Structure 1
């Protein structure tokens, strides 16, 4: 499997400790564009993250950090933040830098995270204000993740396939309109995952913790 790479290094979990909630939430105040990620991650941790198991919270924070990087790359004048488009681009960038359990955690938490971004995005204190558009329905999230997992698998095996074969692989990872995590585990586990993050780092521990999760930990 691929190494954690830049994704693991991009985590801003530690920066949450430096998040100055009081100053940034003063009435009528706006924040600088380069503070958007810290602000939103701080809001998520305060309202959602602290209610979740540590590994789950860290996973969504890291996904959210990458998602916000996608949003900011679109530019300050891009007032419409498309959940579907940004999520698709974000997962493509993350790819195989994480074990399959990352995607399983994301699927279980996506609905709650999307409600958060739908609520908090429009009141983000920047100018111009953001609009949250193109939300993902539950079935669409499952399909999106299944397709990314198929791409990840093909990237690892480096097997030339046709578009039709890729579509068939996506279908094989779905059971109705839900990802079949038993099938995903059966395909990815034998390939292994190489955790090359610094051994004393939070990222190394997080990736190890993710890999201890099994199919039984996720609702099918």
Structure 2
């Protein structure tokens, strides 16, 4: 049995060790503003190496968009993804959505693992991460809306007409729970316009996407 002096020294050592561990944990945490860079680095070290060259930049930019909305939505993808679709609408060619669809089976597990592991002072936990079918359903809705907006630009449809066209397009472009991307190419290809960006790096990426 240790003497009182020994116990006091052990107690002080335990407190000192606990304090050091706490400080170490604090030093290892990141701020919300660092989430994007942290996830991009994790992507570069893991998933990017297994992703085709055509998709690498698209996935990185999508991850950055997700990071920008994580705290606001507390990691709830049911709210997060619609915010991204609204933000990028009209800013990216249809091939952007195509690349996301192709890579979602690999990207979803990465997001679940890496977001939950973010060393934040206040953790964020992934919620309602969609399956591939649910994810593609969202992408299809974006594509249908884009097709209608593009092909009826000079002849706006009434609400009832628009809904009928939307239902027909959805049926045509969704077969065996898969998006018919080649049909989307045929529908949007003749109307594809050059999307410009003030950032040269983004412009190179957008031009590359449009050529896929």
Q: TM-score, normalised by structure 2?
A: 0.77
Name the structure, 1 or 2, with higher relative contact order (CA <8 Å, separation 6+): 1
List gaps (5 residues or longer) in structure 1.
1-25, 214-220
The alpha carbon displacement at 1:164 in A equals: 4.2
Asked if 2 retains the 8 angstrom alpha-carbon contact of 1:92 and 1:148, the reply is: no
Structure 1: how far apart are the matches of 2:196 and 2:143? 21
Instruction: Kindly state the Cα deviation for residue 169 of structure 1 after the two structures are TM-superposed.
Output: 2.3
Gaps of 5+ in 2: 1-22
Q: Distance in 2 between matches of 1:153 and 1:143?
A: 15
What does 1:107-146 align with in structure 2 at a 5 Å threshold? 107-146=101-140
Q: Deviations over 1:44-103 (max 9, x none)?
A: 1211113323331100111111122222333xxx3xx12233123212221121111111
Distance in 2, matches of 1:67 and 1:173, equals: 27
Q: Which residue of 1 aligns with 2:180?
A: 180
Q: Does residue 147 of structure 2 align to residue 148 of structure 1?
A: no
Structure 1 or 2: more helix by fraction: 2
Question: How far 1:27 sits from its partner (Å)?
Answer: 6.2
Q: Which is higher, the Rg of structure 1 or of structure 2?
A: 2
How large is the Cα RMSD of the aligned pairs? 2.1
Q: Return 91-100 or 47-56, whichever deviates more.
A: 47-56
Partner of 1:7: none
- 1:70-85 maps to which residues of 2 (within 5 A)? 70-74=69-73, 78=74, 81-85=75-79
Deviations 1:23-43 (A, max 9, x none): xxx963111111111111221
> Who is 2:45 aligned against?
46
TM-score by length of 1: 0.75
Q: Distance in 2 between matches of 1:172 and 1:71?
A: 34
